[in-house]
Amino acid sequence: MEILAIILFISIFLLILYGYPVAFTLGGLAILYAICFLEPAALSALPNRIMGVVNNYVLLSVPLFVFMGIMLEKSGLAESLLETMAMLFGQLKGGLAISVVIVGAMLAASTGIVGATVITMGLISLPTMLKRGYQPELATGTIAASGTLGQIIPPSVVLVLLGSVLNVSVGDLFRAALLPGLLLVVCYIFYILIFAYLRPNDAPSIPYAEIQAFRSHNFIGKVIKVFILPLFLIIAVLGSIFSGIASPTEAAAVGALGATLLTIVQGKFNLTILKQVMRETTHLTSMVFWILLGATTFSLVFRGLGGDTYLIDLIENANLSPISFLILVMIIVFIAGFFIDFIEIIFIIVPIVAPIFVRYNMDLVWVGILLAINLQTSFLSPPFGFSLFYLKGVAPPSVTTKHLYKGIVPFIIIQLIFLIIIMLFPEVVYVLRKS
């Protein structure tokens, strides 16, 4: 029976790679195995499991955060931020790339929607960077990597889903993730500064005359207008969570309302925009929850076949230390990111290894942050990195797939080094969590 559980897992993984819909593959194949190999009463617990997912109050934050992100993308905020930030850092070598990273971080703290961030910055920044003489690899790598910051900087949908699967507080995950997310931004900027120092012609500064022309027309007013509104929204959402005033779900509702008001202030709100945001929110939320329901079914059947007990016994008999098992899981997640996306990894792999982390008495919040950082690479790693698809879709014809692949390699290396640092120095995730 235990071997059947492993065969079920491998079968699902292969069918997903072949292209079958994830949610229906997870749920459908699991039910077939249950009918063939388990007692008829084995699925009697499934309705209660499904209702437990549907009634999960924390998961209500998913559609709210998605609505918030898509609404902000429609507000035109990114365009204003990029233009103003470019003029603030334009005199530095690599300043335009640095501005992209900082705007990516701000959008991550305001939206958390990777696709929207990458597409927006790709449409606005990439042609400008190429026109000013930036190396295509640096330009594309910076935009793609900056767009994935929404995976780790809260409020992040990834952290909400990980909190649900690992059964830990989403608020604790948000607190623990904030400092690592900001440090990762610093690592990106540090790399760009080194690159610009070594190869200044591939990361030129903006001409001083152009910066002066922009600053001569109410520059302070432009900066205040561009920064004050998103910062207010970030503080309202994260501040209410960190201070204990609101739960993540309540803060997500505040964020959704705030994003709508910001779009109104920007003069971009109308009925058509509202319909588009609602339609896209419904589409993304439905996809996530269908996969979650399929994963719930898979988890029930996998445990019914004894798969979780078999894996725990296997790991214990292998005499793996907790850190060795953690490294093994991180390697598996990293490799899986080359072939499947983060939602599938969260709902297929994480539920299987979570009981083993519990058996080892490991801090699941720390494990969740490590997984979130690792899952960032799934957006960048070829051949199925979604950030690469998003950016290629809006890039000029002169930007080739080779440029994209070469451009993201340094940023993947930075993420992996940063992941190792967080593993070696776990106290980084506790700074804000304990405050």
pLDDT tens per residue across span 321-333:
889 999 999 998 9
pLDDT tens per residue across span 54-87:
787 888 888 888 888 888 878 877 777 777 777 7
Which own/partner pairs from 323-332 qualify as long-range (CB within 8 Å, at least 24 positions apart)? Answer: 323/423, 325/356, 325/357, 325/360, 326/357, 326/362, 326/367, 326/370, 326/423, 327/423, 329/353, 330/370, 330/374, 330/419, 330/423
> Is the pLDDT score of 123 beyond 70?
yes
Q: Which pLDDT score is estimated for 374?
A: 92
> Is the pLDDT score of 242 beyond 60?
yes
Which residue is listed with tokens 């910062």?
Answer: 231
Contact 261, 134 (CB under 8 A): no
Q: What is the DSSP string of 9-76?
A: HHHHHHHHHHT--HHHHHHHHHHHHHHHHS-GGGGGGHHHHHHHHHT-TGGGHHHHHHHHHHHHHHTT
Separation of first and last alpha carbons in the chain:
47
pLDDT tens per residue across span 135-150:
999 999 999 998 888 8
**For 202-206, 222-226, 241-245, 288-292, which range has the lowest pLDDT when averaged over its residues?**
222-226
* Residues contacting residue 427 through CB under 8 Å, at least 6 positions apart: none
Using CA atoms, how far residue 415 sits from 148, 231, 408, in Å, is: 11, 26, 11
Q: Which pLDDT score is estimated for 367?
A: 94
What does DSSP assign to residue 237?
I
Q: Per-residue confidence at 433, pLDDT binned at 50, 70, 90?
A: low
Q: Which of 400, 248, 339 is closest to 13 using CA atoms? A: 339
Q: Which of 153, 150, 88, 118 is closest to 407 using CA atoms? A: 118
Distance of CA 1 to the CA centre of its chain: 36
> Is the pLDDT score of 316 beyond 60?
yes
Contact 143, 125 (CB under 8 A): yes
Enclosing domain of residue 112: 59-430
Contact 329, 362 (CB under 8 A): no
Arithmetic mean of pLDDT, 414-419:
93
Whether residue 195 is contained in a domain is answered as yes
> Is the pLDDT score of 277 beyond 80?
yes
Whether residue 19 is contained in a domain is answered as no
Which residue is listed with tokens 């065969």?
Answer: 7
User: What is the pTM for the complete model shown?
Assistant: 0.83
Using CA atoms, how far residue 275 sits from 41, 108, 208, 393, in Å, is: 44, 23, 43, 24
Residue 60: how many other CB atoms lie within 10 Å:
17
Distance CA 161, CA 170 (A): 9
Distance CA 382, CA 364 (A): 29
Whether residue 54 is contained in a domain is answered as no
Whether residue 112 is contained in a domain is answered as yes
> Is the pLDDT score of 38 beyond 80?
yes
Whether residue 225 is contained in a domain is answered as yes
Contact 184, 415 (CB under 8 A): yes
The pair of structure tokens assigned to 176 is 């623990």
Q: Which of 242, 281, 277, 318 is closest to 157 using CA atoms? A: 281
Distance CA 420, CA 29 (A): 36
Whether residue 14 is contained in a domain is answered as no
Arithmetic mean of pLDDT, 35-44:
82
* Residues contacting residue 26 through CB under 8 Å, at least 6 positions apart: 12, 291, 294, 295, 297, 298, 347, 348
Q: Which pLDDT score is estimated for 195?
A: 93
Contact 364, 354 (CB under 8 A): yes
> Is the pLDDT score of 346 beyond 60?
yes
* Sign, CA torsion 100/104/105/109: positive
pLDDT tens per residue across span 361-374:
999 999 999 999 99
Q: Per-residue confidence at 420, pLDDT binned at 50, 70, 90?
A: very high
Q: Which pLDDT score is estimated for 378?
A: 82
Whether residue 210 is contained in a domain is answered as yes
Q: Which pLDDT score is estimated for 434?
A: 58
Contact 173, 431 (CB under 8 A): no
Contact 63, 281 (CB under 8 A): yes
Rg of the chain taking only CA atoms, in angstroms: 22
φ, ψ of residue 340 to 5 degrees: the values are: -130, 160
What does DSSP assign to residue 245?
S
Number of domains the chain contains: 1
Q: Per-residue confidence at 383, pLDDT binned at 50, 70, 90?
A: low
Q: Which pLDDT score is estimated for 196?
A: 92
Distance CA 211, CA 386 (A): 34
**For 65-74, 107-116, 160-169, 199-208, which range has the lowest pLDDT when averaged over its residues?**
107-116
Contact 207, 140 (CB under 8 A): no
pLDDT tens per residue across span 138-182:
999 999 998 888 888 888 888 988 998 898 988 889 889 989 999
Distance CA 258, CA 153 (A): 19
Which residue is listed with tokens 């899981």?
Answer: 329
Distance CA 298, CA 111 (A): 31
Q: Which pLDDT score is estimated for 113?
A: 67
Whether residue 26 is contained in a domain is answered as no
**For 7-11, 34-38, 256-260, 391-395, which range has the lowest pLDDT when averaged over its residues?**
391-395
> Is the pLDDT score of 414 beyond 90?
yes
